């Protein structure tokens, strides 16, 4: 059940959020109105990123959950038992033994999720906001598409995609250089 | 320093009962080894003492205080796991972990680690993570992690099974020396019977969830209480021959029609019945042609250097026999060896119950 969202296409996740947050028919928008909050993400640029984030994260959480579950199950029980004998409370055991032993999984997921955020959120944005309002959700990967295919500025679009690639590569390199040091295999 | 008392302990997993009532009093400073084949419940027993398994029925007390409902942390024990369970992301902190959690001052922790590292000579490995250590070094770190805690009881779960043969002998001596120096009550679990003979002050031999025998290694070697115990201790295992007991219970008839008189007035209670005669391979000796009680037809010879193991058969129904002879012998296949065995080294078991009978 928990992994079902991962089976949904990004666009489907986007449509789901689009309807939930839609100012006219959306149930979440309705409740917010009842609570006295004026919700209109198609006009308010500050609000527009929110449904995008929700849709993208909802789809990805299940995937992350699976990896963490696998990571948890791969931790041999004697470690936890040894810590219990050493006198650690369950919470302490989690923070000092389980959590560090999950760090390879966590590191892998950080890298993958950042790449996901840069590239695979395209469908979600396309469905929910089309990069608007007023470019508030126009992230680079969407802008590449928008400028290239809609604006027909192919040169600029190609240049932006190179910039995007450089950004992601350098982010990944930074992660491997500085975060991986703290990871225990 | 503590005594441990195990009183009529039972353990069930779901509907299966795996330990059917075990009792044992372990004195302060004693080293008790629990021995048995795989799946006999020995590890479960140890884990119940450690508090990692719930005790279904019965009582375990450390220093007189019942610990049934105490968390492992509150029992003041330390355990060496079979695969050591060293925290892979810590170096010397592995040893400090238990102390830090108990909020011991830093200087004291450092002092204890240095002392323990000196005892087992691992000072130069202190800053290494477990994956940078060899099997023997990991074993030492695991033991040091127990030593620094200065617990009331040491528990060892098959501590030597992951080491190669040479290291095993060395670590065995070291564990024994350490235990004697520190005088900490220790319980070890193993299926290695050499380990048992040398390590323990007292043994518990477990068979299928029951304690088949509790006693000193020599006692168990010399007077095994059941056929199971007799076959389990000693390598190669004891030879068992089903033989008839005479009508007056004074002698047995070996295959090959040799009569063997029994000591201490025989076994009148089982006269005329078939019994199991147990003879250890090392208690058979070569004899002159005339004096031989058994004439062994050699099948196979293993020369170990110090000893020679001879496997063969004898008598009309080809009873199998293994013999350990001192020094080196070269026997051809099908050589007939006359053998003697002294009556004082014979063990007699009831055929049905497998219990030791007679002397």
- The domain spanning residue B335 has which CATH number? 2.40.50.140
**8-67 in chain B: CB under 8 A from chain A:** 50-52
Q: Do B85 and A81 touch (CB under 8 A)?
A: yes
Across the beta sheet with B4-13, the strand order is B16-26, B4-13, B57-62, B65-66
Q: Which of B86, B80, B85 has its CA nearest to residue B157?
A: B80
The C-alpha atoms of residue A147 and residue A133 are separated, in whole angstroms, by: 16
Q: Are residues B82 and B133 in the same domain?
A: yes
CATH number of residue B94's parent domain: 3.40.50.300
- Residue A164 confidence (pLDDT): 92
**Residue B94, helix vs strand vs coil:** helix
Cβ contacts of residue B42 below 8 Å, gap of 6+?
B34, B35, B36, B189, B191, B206
Kindly report the backbone phi and psi dihedral angles of residue B61, in degrees, each rounded to the nearest multiple of 5, phi listed first: -125, 135
Residue B312 CB burial class (10 angstroms; 0-12, 13-18, ≥19): buried
Residue at a domain's end among B191, B224, B257: B224
Chain B nearest C-alpha distance from A63 (Å): 26
B88 min Cα distance to partner chain A (Å): 8
Count of the separate structural domains present in chain B:
2
Q: Is B71 on the interface with A (CB under 8 A)?
A: yes
A86 vs B98: CB contact, 8 Å cut-off? yes
Mean of pLDDT values over A38-61: 86
Asked if the structure places residue B76 within a domain, the reply is: yes
What's the angle, vertex CA A116, arms to CA A112 and CA A119, rounded to 5?
135
Give bridge partners of residue B88 from the DSSP assignment.
none
Q: Is residue B231 part of a domain?
A: no
Q: What is the pTM of this model?
A: 0.80
Report if residue B245 sits inside a domain. Answer: yes
* Three-state DSSP class for residue B274: strand
In terms of domains, do B260 and B179 share one? no
B141, B110: one domain: yes
For B155, nearest residue in chain A (alpha carbons): A85
B98 half-sphere exposure, CB direction, 13 A CA radius: 29
Q: B220 and B246: one domain?
A: no
Is B187 domain-assigned?
Answer: yes
pLDDT for the residue A185? 58
pLDDT at residue A184 above 80?
Answer: no
Contacts of A89 in chain B (CB under 8 A): 73
Q: How many residues does chain B have?
A: 359
Out of B168, B191, B224, a domain closes at: B224
d(CA B172, CA B160): 7
Q: Considering all CA atoms of chain B, what is the largest pairwise distance in Å, rounded to the nearest integer?
A: 77
Query: What value does the mean pLDDT of chain B take?
Result: 87
- CA distances to A79, A83, A84, A95, A99 from A91, in Å: 14, 11, 11, 6, 10
Task: Give a yes or no: residue B234 inside a domain.
Answer: no
Shortest distance, CA A58 to any CA of chain B (angstroms) = 32
Residues of B in contact with A86 (CB under 8 A): 73, 97-98, 101, 145, 149
Model confidence at A158, pLDDT cuts 50, 70, 90, reads very high
**Gyration radius from chain B CA atoms:** 24
What is the Cα–Cα distance from A30 to A33, expressed in whole angstroms? 5
Residues of chain B with pLDDT under 50: none
pLDDT at position B359: 65
Interface of A with B (CB under 8 A): 76, 78-79, 81-89, 92, 96-97, 100-101, 103, 184-185
Final residue in a domain of this structure, among B199, B224, B249? B224
Does residue B152 share a domain with residue B9? yes
Q: Which of A74, A85, A182 to mutate to test the interface with B (most CBs of B within 10 A)?
A: A85
Are B27 and B136 within one domain?
yes
Clarify whether residues B203 and B145 are in a common domain.
yes
- In chain B, the residue whose alpha carbon lies closest to the alpha carbon of A183 is B89
Q: Are residues B19 and B135 in the same domain?
A: yes
Q: Indicate whether A165 pLDDT > 90.
A: yes
Q: Is residue B13 situated within a structural domain?
A: yes
Do B40 and B169 sit in the same domain of this protein? yes
Residue B206 to chain A, least CA–CA distance (Å): 24
Say yes or no: B217 and B248 in one domain. Answer: no
| Per-residue pLDDT, B293 | 81
Q: Is residue B336 part of a domain?
A: yes
Q: pLDDT band at A155, cuts 50/70/90?
A: very high
The answer to the question of residue B342 being in a domain is yes
At B261 the three-state DSSP class reads strand
Under a CB-based contact definition with an 8 Å cutoff, are residues B106 and A97 in contact? no
Are residues B251 and B191 located together in one domain of the fold? Answer: no
Residue at token pair 């309705």 = A30
Q: Are A102 and A76 in contact (CB under 8 A)?
A: no
Question: Could you tell me if B72 and B145 lie in one domain?
Answer: yes
Note down the domain range covering B164. Answer: 4-224
């Amino acid at each position: 059940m928990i992994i079902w969202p991962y089976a949904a296409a990004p666009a489907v996740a986007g449509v789901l959020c689009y309807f939930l947050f839609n100012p006219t028919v959306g149930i979440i928008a309705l409740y917010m109105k009842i609570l006295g909050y004026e919700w209109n993400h198609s006009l308010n640029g500050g609000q527009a990123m929110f449904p995008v984030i929700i849709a993208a994260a909802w789809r990805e959480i299940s995937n992350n959950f699976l990896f963490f579950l696998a990571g948890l199950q791969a931790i041999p029980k004697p470690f936890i038992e040894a810590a219990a004998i050493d006198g650690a409370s369950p919470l302490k055991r989690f923070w000092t033994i389980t959590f560090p032993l999950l760090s390879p999984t966590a590191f892998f997921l950080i890298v993958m999720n950042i790449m996901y955020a840069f590239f695979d959120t395209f469908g979600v944005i396309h469905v929910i906001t089309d990069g608007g309002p007023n470019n508030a959700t126009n992230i680079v990967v969407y802008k590449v598409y928008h400028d290239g295919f809609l604006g027909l500025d192919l040169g600029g679009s190609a240049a932006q995609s190179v910039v995007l690639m450089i950004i992601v590569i350098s982010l990944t390199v930074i992660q491997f250089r500085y975060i991986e040091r703290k990871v225990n295999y | 320093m503590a005594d441990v008392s195990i009183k009529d302990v039972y353990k069930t997993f779901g509907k299966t009962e795996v330990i059917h009532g075990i009792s044992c009093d372990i004195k302060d400073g004693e080293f008790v080894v629990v021995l048995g084949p795989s799946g006999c419940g020995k590890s479960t027993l140890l884990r119940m003492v450690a508090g990692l398994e719930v005790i279904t029925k019965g009582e375990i007390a450390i220093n007189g205080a019942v610990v049934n409902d105490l968390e492992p942390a509150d029992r003041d024990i330390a355990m060496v796991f079979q695969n050591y369970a060293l925290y892979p992301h810590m170096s010397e902190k592995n040893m400090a972990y238990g102390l830090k959690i108990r909020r011991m001052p830093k200087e004291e922790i450092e002092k204890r680690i240095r002392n323990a590292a000196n005892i087992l000579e691992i000072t130069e490995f202190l800053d290494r993570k477990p994956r940078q250590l060899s099997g023997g070094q990991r074993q030492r770190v695991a033991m040091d992690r127990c030593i620094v805690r200065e617990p009331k009881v040491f528990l060892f779960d098959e501590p030597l099974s992951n080491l190669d043969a040479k290291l095993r002998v060395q670590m065995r001596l070291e564990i024994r020396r350490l235990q004697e120096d520190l005088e900490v009550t220790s319980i070890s679990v193993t299926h290695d019977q050499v380990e048992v003979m040398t390590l323990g002050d007292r043994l518990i031999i477990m068979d299928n969830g029951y304690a088949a025998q509790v006693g000193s290694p020599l006692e168990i070697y010399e007077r095994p209480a059941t056929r199971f115990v007799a076959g389990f201790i000693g390598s190669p295992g004891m030879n068992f021959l089903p033989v008839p007991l005479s009508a007056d219970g004074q002698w047995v008839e070996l295959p090959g029609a040799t009569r063997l008189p029994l000591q201490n007035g025989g076994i009148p209670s089982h006269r005329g019945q078939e019994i199991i005669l147990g003879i250890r391979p090392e208690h058979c000796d070569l004899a002159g042609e005339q004096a031989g009680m058994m004439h062994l037809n050699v099948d196979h010879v293993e020369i170990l250097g110090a000893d020679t193991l001879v496997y063969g058969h004898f008598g009309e129904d080809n009873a199998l026999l293994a013999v350990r002879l001192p020094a080196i012998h070269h026997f051809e296949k099908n050589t007939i060896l006359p053998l003697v065995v002294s009556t004082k080294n014979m063990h007699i078991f009831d055929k049905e119950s497998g219990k030791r009978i007679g002397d």
